Structure 1
């Protein structure tokens, strides 16, 4: 057994320096536990240090590369022919005006997306929700389709993901490939306007999926081994292109879309704290011909609800394949599947629209199965919820970051005030040790553990015996209330000093949204801790008309903002679930509590927008707007190993922040849509416009400081 598996490993991917890290040596883990590390963790740390000091040389072997997110490595890969335009046979210019005009397949995809957006707009209008490409009001915003056709934009390669473990899904369908490799492209723009260079990314991703050819003997041991660098090798673009990404070993499978297309600001959604809708599709590409493919394990709920015979056949499939569904490795036949869906945030993990199987099936339909044989589902309700979590919208709104699992890191063109510190979701972070274990077993020619946890589960140690030992969930990370956990086997616990606390329920959904939070009146309170509970009234036909109602306050009871006590900031300023807040004092501004070798504190004096930010947004001057975000306020501290709670993400401190060198690698949790690049609306445009951005874009707290 690998001694490092007693805790989640350090980042086993290519970091922004272009090095393969997570090399098998075990660095001490900083812990956000407000009561300090437990004795068991201290014992584990001692064991780790013992192995590092006295263990065999094999303990120093490099880990397999699971993701690549270094912008410089990725830019070099693009130059070597791995760019987005190459998917469509285009050479030369890669801007979207050129690609739309000269690439018939890309043109067809854009027109399909445009039709989807128009249909959603019509549905929302019929439901009383008007949408605008740009607006200065507290009304819905919709993507301006010109972004997909302008010379100022391109799809930038932001990540490469090793998914050889997807071979588990290929075997039942007689696919002989060794899994997949995924190239993640994100919409980005750069142009000059009024004498200034403006650049940002937008929350709009395409993922190009490639099958990986097997070894000459039909196995995958050699293929898996190519992802592990030798001790004298550097994981750079040359190593990747000449090894695991060698083009003759890859064959195109499909192009997947996940894109924010609608956003409601917090000034409109004053109790939700904002909403957003994400379009999900899969396209086949054969030369100039584009096809629409079914979404994996994602039911066409409207068609199934209308066709009793079709729904009955799906129920038969579930009963016949319940063991595979429990394992997490199954493929529902195409006849039952949707070809497009919309996923919804905020509180995405609780929203009924993101639980597509729950309204379809009464769990009693699966009561006759022997659940004692299953690893995860212990009841019929658990089986249905397993199906929910395996659907596209279920997975991408539980354990995700703003509807995505891969956002990627910023390149040098992005403003320091619009940069993110962590480019992956909590789910992907938790997945990495599982994928590492799968790759190691496959490279050794042994049978890997094929079990897939729920997407909101914490990292786990994947033992050689096949057991899965979850790490305790960190503060503000998801958990299951006892009545919900009883439907599943092998769940996890909250870390010491926290308790599983429900913060939201939704009508029509069995599982509560719960997080590992501090007990009431805890002296360890920190900025960013949730402070409100709420209930969602689900609208099955019109999820955009779901309504959230605040039901209570359980933390941060100070009546006003101060530098010593915590008050509860309301969702109307853009903070879903409320936000415990304490203003920065001089020690906070100097990062005095951040000390080398000590656990990372729970809060950090980060940036807020406030009145300056709002006024600047209203002028629609993107560059000045970001430059106006100069106020400071306490936020949850975050890093590559410590994630923000649902509906928040880890933003970078600008490098010119006084004392920033002291907290290098540590960011602060911002509400997702406070970060410009996570909003599809109201960016500066290369085309003329007189519209202005809304006044409720900022965080709001600084105005009261």
Structure 2
């Protein structure tokens, strides 16, 4: 069974050409990611309103529109709106804190969308998380339904000021906000725990749940037919297997603000993401703000560091941390968190555990642990301990090779304009973890006791390297790598023809980089390399390793790693390292591109890229359709799919069928904030519903 499962995984990941008409669209029995199948599932009963209806005691058909006005979700609405209002002033980043003084709302998530009747939540993913069965609150793990926020408004432009050449147009787009509705994977268990009764003798077993998911992974059906089978009495998403009695919580991840490249020049932009959890309270039929799993509250721990060290540095907790199963005590946890982009795990604000423990104490605890006859599998050093502790937090995990703060965005249906459409629904971390999750489902199905251990968030466990062979998900182009001597990471190498380059070097995690081409001439390769300097926790500066910024950042010009980009027919999309004050947009690291789509190399496809003037167009209030028509150009960009993801902080957008040079079945990699649905700025600030009829 295990061999078949691994074959199915590779069959899905390595499907590099266009999907056949009747293709398997369930990712290796652990996720439903095909947008057409998800739309059919939503129509068939998996809309968030239909699922919440019974739990809320509603007898009428509930529409997704105006959902936040329902009493059960008002705590969510109120908490989110308050966080949006508070975040600029509370940020440790000086640029963001300065935003609060300007009282300019244009760079923040517009809270009016939350209350608008035109806002909905679209189902964009169903994810099997039976690998979370080690937690005390569930025996068989969890099932997550992931929704994306979507608005549709009739914009009312200012008098005499047409928008994009038109007036009164309707604008519709997703926004960077996801909500995961989390269910107990075992039917009947949640209700029994709530009432303190034992499940009945006829209750569904974990093996039953797993077998249904494995069967689903072998279905070769068109989207509508697959959705119907998944919801049938035999499927894993039937009413008996997934219903409101199993609801456990809501998990929120949203971009609350974004600074453009012109206002945050060193990083080429800045975005902040709010993470929160709301647990379902059956007594009040509401979702209530709660502590976040493993999200350390720095203020609480800094107030009593010895207490945290005493709790954490025990054999039991070192064992669980080493195997990726640690559950931090509630008394050390926060109720909300902010992660930042770009820069991933190199950013200090994403390292919530930084400086909370003394390295000498960690070193002693690890040596004593081994001396008592215990084995360390992953955490073999102080640096390994610190990285593992951090990547088990919400902020650390979400910003490890993420996509603009997300690991799962969902792909867009064919009906979405290509200029605003996502092609690959998840990050490299999401797809690289599929073999481990699949193995656990197989163990459950066989009636065994699964091994719930996992590798670092940044690197799949070596035992799954063979299952990921042929992809870039283990040590291929774009993977996180390590060039030092630390025992915890010394095997984090790059495959042949690649080198480990420090795109975002950091004193917090020294030696880490990104696998890029050895020659530095492949499309998509970085064209800037830099170092992140931290003045204090949460306040970072990005310094390019080039003479143009060496003086300001106290960097030795001899460390300049400027790659050879003056190649015939190539260009560099970048936040200008040779002239940092030039307003060019771009992203730190930049990317090598083919200037035209003529004679593209194997790693490239033809796509569209924003050109100078795009950000100004969006900021001026013009419709994104107008801006993408007037301020984009075709270019040879890095091609991408599920098996060959983009570099960290880039997103795989849908391919362009109208471009003859575009490769079928491939998307193209670009910075995510060039996609309208992944930025909170530039969207309508007022619309017809806000204005009284004259």
When the two structures are superposed, what TM-score results if normalisation uses the length of structure 2? 0.81
Aligned residue runs from structure 1 range 423-572, under 5 A: 423-458=425-460, 462=464, 472-484=474-486, 486-488=487-489, 491-507=491-507, 509-519=508-518, 522=519, 525-540=521-536, 543=538, 545-552=539-546, 553-558=560-565, 563=569, 570=576
Residue 224 of structure 2 corresponds to residue 262 of structure 1: no
- Give the distance between the partners of 2:643 and 2:443, measured in 1 at CA: 25
Aligned residue runs from structure 1 range 1-40, under 5 A: 2=3, 5=6, 9-11=10-12, 21=24
Match of 1:289?
286
- Give the distance between the partners of 1:83 and 1:478, measured in 2 at CA: 36
Match of 2:341?
345
Shift in Å at residue 424 of structure 1?
0.5
Match of 1:608?
609
Shift in Å at residue 554 of structure 1?
2.5
- Give the distance between the partners of 1:492 and 1:8, measured in 2 at CA: 23
- Give the distance between the partners of 1:131 and 1:327, measured in 2 at CA: 41
Match of 2:117?
151
Q: What number of residue pairs does the alignment pair up?
A: 618
Secondary structure in structure 2 of the residue aligned to 1:358: coil
Match of 1:278?
273
Distance of aligned partners of 1:176 and 1:153 in 2 relative to their CA distance in 1, 3 Å threshold:
closer
Match of 2:214?
228
Q: How far does the alpha carbon of each residue in 1:468-487 deviate from its partner, in whole angstroms, 9 at most, with x for none?
A: x9975111221122234x23
Match of 2:229?
239
Residue 202 of structure 2 corresponds to residue 200 of structure 1: no
- Give the distance between the partners of 1:436 and 1:100, measured in 2 at CA: 35
Distance of aligned partners of 1:254 and 1:17 in 2 relative to their CA distance in 1, 3 Å threshold:
farther
Contact 1:224–1:439 (Cα < 8 Å) also in 2: yes
2:324 to 317, 322, 328: 328
Larger deviation, residues 416-425 vs 469-478: 469-478
Match of 1:72?
36
Secondary structure in structure 2 of the residue aligned to 1:229: helix
Contact 1:426–1:643 (Cα < 8 Å) also in 2: yes
Distance of aligned partners of 1:651 and 1:531 in 2 relative to their CA distance in 1, 3 Å threshold:
same
CA RMSD of aligned residues (A): 3.5
- Give the distance between the partners of 2:489 and 2:565, measured in 1 at CA: 39
Distance of aligned partners of 1:338 and 1:569 in 2 relative to their CA distance in 1, 3 Å threshold:
closer
Unaligned runs of 5+ in 1: 24-62, 594-600, 691-705
Q: How far does the alpha carbon of each residue in 1:550-608 deviate from its partner, in whole angstroms, 9 at most, with x for none?
A: 1235344346x8515768662763433333434434624xx5x5xxxxxxx22233211
Aligned residue runs from structure 1 range 20-99, under 5 A: 21=24, 64-86=28-50, 87=52, 89=56, 91-92=60-61, 94-96=63-65, 98-99=66-67
Secondary structure in structure 2 of the residue aligned to 1:270: coil
Contact 2:423–2:654 (Cα < 8 Å) also in 1: yes
- Give the distance between the partners of 1:389 and 1:306, measured in 2 at CA: 22
Distance of aligned partners of 1:585 and 1:176 in 2 relative to their CA distance in 1, 3 Å threshold:
closer
Match of 1:684?
684
Shift in Å at residue 619 of structure 1?
4.5
- Give the distance between the partners of 1:364 and 1:481, measured in 2 at CA: 24
- Give the distance between the partners of 1:140 and 1:505, measured in 2 at CA: 32
Contact 1:95–1:150 (Cα < 8 Å) also in 2: no
- Give the distance between the partners of 1:324 and 1:341, measured in 2 at CA: 23
- Give the distance between the partners of 2:432 and 2:638, measured in 1 at CA: 20
Match of 1:42?
none
Shift in Å at residue 387 of structure 1?
0.8
Distance of aligned partners of 1:176 and 1:401 in 2 relative to their CA distance in 1, 3 Å threshold:
closer
Contact 1:606–1:635 (Cα < 8 Å) also in 2: yes
- Give the distance between the partners of 1:342 and 1:448, measured in 2 at CA: 33
Contact 1:200–1:413 (Cα < 8 Å) also in 2: no
Larger deviation, residues 640-649 vs 474-483: 474-483
Contact 2:108–2:681 (Cα < 8 Å) also in 1: yes
Q: How far does the alpha carbon of each residue in 1:286-342 deviate from its partner, in whole angstroms, 9 at most, with x for none?
A: 3443322211112111111013454344334x5531111111112112111111110
- Give the distance between the partners of 1:13 and 1:279, measured in 2 at CA: 34
Match of 2:304?
307
Contact 2:252–2:275 (Cα < 8 Å) also in 1: yes
Match of 2:667?
667
Distance of aligned partners of 1:11 and 1:157 in 2 relative to their CA distance in 1, 3 Å threshold:
same
Match of 1:183?
145
Shift in Å at residue 81 of structure 1?
2.7
Contact 1:64–1:227 (Cα < 8 Å) also in 2: no
Match of 2:580?
none
- Give the distance between the partners of 2:446 and 2:152, measured in 1 at CA: 46
Secondary structure in structure 2 of the residue aligned to 1:338: coil
Larger deviation, residues 379-388 vs 303-312: 303-312
Distance of aligned partners of 1:134 and 1:209 in 2 relative to their CA distance in 1, 3 Å threshold:
farther
- Give the distance between the partners of 1:240 and 1:345, measured in 2 at CA: 37
Q: How far does the alpha carbon of each residue in 1:245-294 deviate from its partner, in whole angstroms, 9 at most, with x for none?
A: 22333401110011110111111222211111110010023344332221
Residue 595 of structure 2 corresponds to residue 584 of structure 1: yes
Q: How far does the alpha carbon of each residue in 1:474-504 deviate from its partner, in whole angstroms, 9 at most, with x for none?
A: 11221122234x2347x44211111222222
Larger deviation, residues 680-689 vs 565-574: 565-574
Distance of aligned partners of 1:356 and 1:413 in 2 relative to their CA distance in 1, 3 Å threshold:
same
Residue 419 of structure 2 corresponds to residue 422 of structure 1: no
Distance of aligned partners of 1:332 and 1:625 in 2 relative to their CA distance in 1, 3 Å threshold:
same
Match of 1:399?
401
Shift in Å at residue 112 of structure 1?
0.7
- Give the distance between the partners of 1:635 and 1:294, measured in 2 at CA: 42
- Give the distance between the partners of 1:514 and 1:492, measured in 2 at CA: 10
Secondary structure in structure 2 of the residue aligned to 1:321: helix
- Give the distance between the partners of 1:633 and 1:437, measured in 2 at CA: 41
Residue 240 of structure 2 corresponds to residue 248 of structure 1: yes
Larger deviation, residues 342-351 vs 564-573: 564-573
Unaligned runs of 5+ in 2: 156-166, 188-200, 547-559, 578-582
Match of 2:77?
110
Distance of aligned partners of 1:334 and 1:244 in 2 relative to their CA distance in 1, 3 Å threshold:
same
- Give the distance between the partners of 2:401 and 2:436, measured in 1 at CA: 15
Distance of aligned partners of 1:268 and 1:442 in 2 relative to their CA distance in 1, 3 Å threshold:
same
Larger deviation, residues 570-579 vs 337-346: 570-579
Contact 1:292–1:339 (Cα < 8 Å) also in 2: yes
Shift in Å at residue 219 of structure 1?
4.2
- Give the distance between the partners of 1:620 and 1:93, measured in 2 at CA: 34
When the two structures are superposed, what TM-score results if normalisation uses the length of structure 1? 0.79
- Give the distance between the partners of 1:285 and 1:615, measured in 2 at CA: 43
Shift in Å at residue 205 of structure 1?
0.7
Secondary structure in structure 2 of the residue aligned to 1:273: coil
Larger deviation, residues 210-219 vs 73-82: 210-219
Contact 2:524–2:637 (Cα < 8 Å) also in 1: yes
Contact 1:182–1:210 (Cα < 8 Å) also in 2: yes
Shift in Å at residue 439 of structure 1?
1.2
- Give the distance between the partners of 1:470 and 1:569, measured in 2 at CA: 26
